[in-house]
Structure formats: C-alpha cells, structure tokens
Amino acid sequence: MADDYSETSPAWIETSALTAPALLGAAAGLLLGDLMHRSARRGVGIGLGVLGIAALLPFAVDGVAWLVTGPRSKFGVRRKIQRIRDAGIVAPKYDDVEEELREQGLL
C-alpha cells in the first residue's frame, strides 16, 4: 500500500506514533488495575478490547480491499486495461445551438 504515494515522514516516526497510544493504555492499565474491583476490571477490559478491535477494523477492511482491487490483483489489472480501452472512446460533441440552427435550416 505504500507503493501508490510517496512517504513524507520516516517510517520510525509513523511507527512510534502508532505504538504510543497502546503503550500509554498499557501503563494506565497497570497503574489503575489494583484500584478497581475484580469484576469491574474484567468488564472494563472486555469493553476496551472490543473498542480496540473496532478501531482496527477499518484498517483491516482497507487492507483486504487493497489486496482484492489493488493494481497488482486480477481485478485491478482488468480495471486498468478497461480504463485504457475506454480512453479511446470519446463522446461526440453535442452543441444545442448548432442543432437548433440545423432545424431552422440556417446551417
């Protein structure tokens, strides 16, 4: 997926930006874990896990869609070939004024 655009920031900056929230969440969990009751801890943990999966779902769907319809897939190659073929088909010029003049017999 990195082939279709040029990266403007180094890879380590993007990686650290993506891992920082996870590290902060883990640190907060370790610090606050003992303060909560066991049943409350379990419910909060399950809820946060579900939210984490829901947050990652768009990235997973985008990755799968890229694999299926990307330029290196079978469908992507077909779409590119169809665009090349369609580029030669040009709609005829349609001019309302010229048609009106022809109807009136002036052209």
Q: Is residue 1 part of a domain?
A: no
- Domain of residue 52, residue span: 8-103
Confidence of residue 76 (pLDDT cuts 50, 70, 90): confident
Whether pLDDT at 1 is above 60: no
Whether pLDDT at 4 is above 60: no
Flag whether the pTM goes above 0.75: no
Distance CA 10, CA 89 (A): 43
Work out the mean pLDDT of the chain and round it to a whole number.
Answer: 77
Question: How many independent structural domains does the chain possess?
Answer: 1
pLDDT value, residue 90: 66
Q: How far, in Å, are 29, 41, 46 from residue 34 at the CA level?
A: 9, 9, 17
Q: Is residue 3 part of a domain?
A: no
